[in-house]
Each structure stands twice: as structure tokens, then as C-alpha cells.
Amino acid sequence: MKVGDKIPAILGTDAQGREIKAADFAGKKLIIYFYPKDNTPGCTAEACSLRDGYDSLQAAGYEVIGVSKDSAASHAKFAEKHNLPFTLIADTEKTLNEAFGVWQLKKMCGRESMGTVRTTFLIDETGTVTDIINKVNTKDSANQILELKK
């Protein structure tokens, strides 16, 4: 996925098992952020930053969707534990990860494996990608987005 591309019509399934579609957000701007794993330090910091900045993001016209390959049950616990007010998509088959191009070969501690590369996509009211943040500041993600869109 690159700037100018349209997001897929079907985004996936949320923590409650509901199918989430791009049409559900027609006329709204979206933040779709991909993260590796629920309840890990960086992913928790990012989710909490977006939670803490949620009112400001909504005031700027955005809805927020988080995506990882964790299960719906894992997402439900993660959202409840951290009082997350936004949708988390359980991309267990990595369909959305692959569609957005964030399922990639990663190197960690000298080992290579496939995984989600932390990335944030900003989408306009027509479902078109307007910005991509590859170097996400997990502790200040909400402000990073708001500063980008000033």
C-alpha cells in the first residue's frame, strides 16, 4: 500500500467478532496502525498514546483502528486492560498485513523471521491513503500524527 491507494473494502474482524468494512467509515478520516503484538512494551505504549490522544484525534476528524495478527480474544483482553476506545482488528490470517505490505522479513538478535512492521497509515474520507508513518514514535504516536497533519 502506498500513498494514493484505496484501502480494501473488507478490513477484517474486530475483538467482538464483527466484520469491519471500509464503508463503515465512509466520509471519515481513518488512522490504521499496524503493530506486532498485544501486551508487549512498544505496542502497549503506542496503544496508550493513541488512547490518551483519542479525543484530539477525533477532534481532528479521525477514527482509529489498530491491527495485529493476535486473536479476537487477545484483542478483547488488551483493549479492556488498557481502556482502549477504538477498534482492534484480529488479522490472524495476515490478510490485511499483506494487503498493506507490512508483513515483512524482520531481523532481530541476528535471526530473521516474518512479522508485522510497525506502520501507521492515514486515510482520507474517500478511503485513500494520504500519509504513511514508517518510523512510529510509540510513546507519542498520537502527537506524531497530529503534528504531521498540521
- Residues labelled as active-site residues: 43
Residue closest to 145 by CA, chosen among 81, 54, 80: 54
* Start-to-end Cα distance in the chain: 23
Cβ neighbours around 52 below 10 Å, total = 13
Residue closest to 11 by CA, chosen among 132, 131, 144, 123: 123
